[in-house]
Amino acid sequence: MQTESALQSTIDAIVQDGKGLLAADESGPTIAKRFKTIDVESTEANRRAWRHLLLSTPGLSQYVSGVILYEETLGQCADDGEPLPALAARLGIVPGIKVDTGKIALAHAEGDEITQGLDGLAGRLEKYKTQGARFAKWRAVYNVSDTLPSRLAIEANADSLARYAAICQSAGVVPIVEPEVLMDGDHSIERCAQVTQAVLHEVFHALHRHHVTLELMLLKPSMVVAGKAHVRPASVREAGERTVAILGRTVPPAVAGIYFLSGGQTPEEASAHLDAINRVGRRPWPLSFSYGRALQEPALAAWRGMAANVEAAQQALLKRARLNSAAARGAYDASDEARA
């Protein structure tokens, strides 16, 4: 009962009207790629400075209720010695942690991948809790083609997601379940919808088998959009309508909240799509954002690794957070993009 109370308290702190999540959980290789675009070396000191910049942004908690951190960041401190998770919590943002250890090729399924990290997860969660983490995230990826993902990949990743979620809830940590249908490729929006529906059906069957309490978890899905290389990109409105339709067919109303990943979209595309999704009716869950690059990219460009640019970078982050907060209410105005 005490565990359930802790889970509910975390859900209540995260699921707030118009607020979303900041994904700042990039792995070492990923953040190195991001830093390379602004000619900044990916050292521990630079990563700490960047994540301190993000978490200390004044007013961010108006629009962001939680932050997903990388394991390294849980152990880092602000300039004054305050642990970064404690800084986030003090400013009204719930700290969370990415717990999967990355993806590898799935045996006997060419072109498919499976996520690792279940071994030792319960023990790691206990450590992360002492460092301030109250929720966790696990990402599974699904490559899309005429034949991918295979049935094996759909079932294997669903089972891993469900096992992870069950372990988290047993530890008193809210699980974010992230099945990402990748945008890479030339597939149509119809093919994306077909794959997303199959993936989400299997994920929730697995969650049921593993006795995961839906009211005490969050879903982080991809949106239903055409592949990046498809000859006919779908309209923003069509993407919104198809996304909500697929969620309605697959996601039980009991789920506490749905927080979309941006999945390689530009910041502007991610805001426009989230807004379109929230303008569609018949939805029992809050539909918000859990964005990484789509929130951070303008701030990163403004920062460029220079202490003198911290305030400008924080203002860029705050602007994107504000626009996505509006999109989470179906009140995004594209003309606001040009305003400070």
Q: What is the per-residue pLDDT across 54-88, written as a single tens digit (0 to 9) for each?
A: 999 999 999 999 999 999 999 999 999 999 999 99
DSSP E strands: which ranges in the chain?
Answer: 20-24, 64-69, 94-98, 103-105, 113-115, 135-142, 174-181, 218-219, 258-260, 287-291
Query: Chain centroid to CA 122: how far?
Result: 21
Query: Active site includes 36?
Result: no
When the pLDDT of each residue in the chain is averaged and rounded to a whole number, the result is: 97
222 DSSP 8-state letter: P
Query: Active site includes 220?
Result: yes
Which run of H or of E encompasses 268? helix 267-278
- The separation between the first and the last C-alpha atoms of the chain, rounded to the nearest angstrom, is 47
Residue with tokens 């565990």: 3
Look at residue 114 and tell me whether its pLDDT is greater than 70: yes
Question: How many residues in total does the chain contain?
Answer: 340
- Dist CA 50 CA 292 (whole Å): 13
Q: Which of 98, 137, 220, 319 is catalytic?
A: 220
Average pLDDT over residues 135-152: 98
Look at residue 96 and tell me whether its pLDDT is greater than 80: yes
Report the percentage of the chain scoring pLDDT > 90.
95
**Which structural domain, as residue segments, surrounds residue 183?**
2-338
- How do strand 94-98 and strand 218-219 relate by DSSP bridges? unpaired
Q: What is the per-residue pLDDT across 288-336, written as a single tens digit (0 to 9) for each?
A: 999 999 999 999 999 999 999 999 999 999 999 999 999 999 999 988 8
pLDDT band per the 50, 70, 90 thresholds, residue 188: very high
As given in the structure block, the two tokens for residue 19 are 């607020």
Q: Are 329 and 18 in contact (CB under 8 A)?
A: yes
Query: Considering only CA atoms, which of 138, 293, 146 is closest in space to residue 212?
Result: 138
Q: What is the pLDDT of residue 1?
A: 66
DSSP 3-state assignment of 263? coil
* Count of structural domains, the chain: 1
Q: What is the pLDDT of residue 73?
A: 97
Q: Are 202 and 154 in contact (CB under 8 A)?
A: yes
As given in the structure block, the two tokens for residue 191 are 């093919």
Average pLDDT over residues 33-60: 97
Average pLDDT over residues 7-25: 98
Look at residue 339 and tell me whether its pLDDT is greater than 90: no
Query: Chain centroid to CA 340: how far?
Result: 26
Q: Which of 26, 178, 180, 202 is catalytic?
A: 178
CB burial readout 267-297, b (16+ within 10 A) else e: bebbbbbbbbbbbbeeeebbbbbbbbbbbbb
DSSP 3-state assignment of 297? helix
For position 319, which CATH number holds? 3.20.20.70
Q: What is the pLDDT of residue 168?
A: 98
DSSP per-residue letters across 100-155 = ---EEEPTTSTT-EEE---TTHHHHHHHHHHTT--EEEEEEEE--SSSPSPHHHHH
DSSP 3-state assignment of 202? helix
- Dist CA 162 CA 30 (whole Å): 26
- How do strand 113-115 and strand 103-105 relate by DSSP bridges? antiparallel
